[in-house]
Amino acid sequence: MLTSDLLTAARARLRRYPAKHTIYWEGEPGSFFYQLQAGAVRLFSCGQRQDFVHSLVFPGETFGETVIGTNPVAVSSAETLTDTVAWVVERAELLELLRHHPALHEKFTRRLVDLLTFHTHMRSNTTLLPAAEQILQLVDYYAHKMLARRQEVSCDASIAQHCRFCQHLDKQHPDGYIPVPFTRQQIADMLGLRVETVMRTVKELDAAGRLRLLNHKLYYRVVLPTAARPSSLVLS
């Protein structure tokens, strides 16, 4: 979202975090905005039985957007999955940047709306749709998001080399399938399902040709529609 020039203008600092490091906890005052340079981060809420994962953040993506709100607090916790490098922007600097760059402000607002739409959609699906459709919608969403990101000028090799999905987009399985960047446990956490349910459902989807399970890895074939996809399914 933020180019190198905008990061410089916002006095962003590059920070390094080890794997399994909690960057912030849900409910803490929101003080910073983050743009991932390398690694992976999960955004989650702590539940009584298991954590509920809201989303996974990959290089080139951002988190902590609610920092622009009045009296902001973190709406989820953020934890690194691997060694991670992120650009960190203070709240005051981000607000100043948005005031002086209307186009960026508009893009930022669209992203917040898209995030809200996606999470509302996924939350409703956890009660309305069977496990198979939940899994397919989740994988399809992230697949199209990664494909869209690879088409952006900002998604250069320095970012793509750190993203498990982007790494293999040009090395598809012979029948057109691309790797899914999640484990079955991560899918279960993101959908609030039991991992046993996900494992059983993935086998059923594999048998039906909707997913591929090869050497314990998941693959998905992206079907690009002729018409433009709804904005709620593609984040910029």
Structure pTM?
0.71
Q: What is the largest CA-CA distance in the chain?
A: 54
pLDDT digits (tens, 9 = 90+) for 130-167: 999 989 988 888 777 766 665 554 444 444 444 544 55
- Residue 183 is predicted with a pLDDT of 86
Which residue, among 236, 194, 2, 231, has the nearest Cα to 117 in the 3D structure?
231
67 and 119 co-located in one domain:
no
The pLDDT mean for the chain works out to 81
Question: 131: domain CATH number?
Answer: 1.10.10.10
227 and 126 co-located in one domain:
yes
228 pLDDT exceeds 50? no
118 in the Ramachandran plot: left (φ > 0), alpha (ψ -120 to 50) or beta?
A: alpha
Which residue, among 109, 114, 104, 148, has the nearest Cα to 3 in the 3D structure?
104
Question: 26: domain CATH number?
Answer: 2.60.120.10
62 and 139 co-located in one domain:
no
* Number of domains the chain is built from: 2
Binning the chain into helix, strand and coil, the percentages to the nearest 5 are 40, 20, 35
Last residue of a domain, one of 100, 122, 151: 100
pLDDT digits (tens, 9 = 90+) for 175-206: 677 788 788 988 888 888 899 999 999 999 99
Last residue of a domain, one of 100, 118, 153: 100
118 and 212 co-located in one domain:
yes
52 and 137 co-located in one domain:
no
58 and 145 co-located in one domain:
no
Q: Which domain holds residue 33?
A: 1-100
127 and 199 co-located in one domain:
yes
Contact 165, 178 (CB under 8 A): yes
Which three-class secondary structure state does DSSP give residue 219? strand
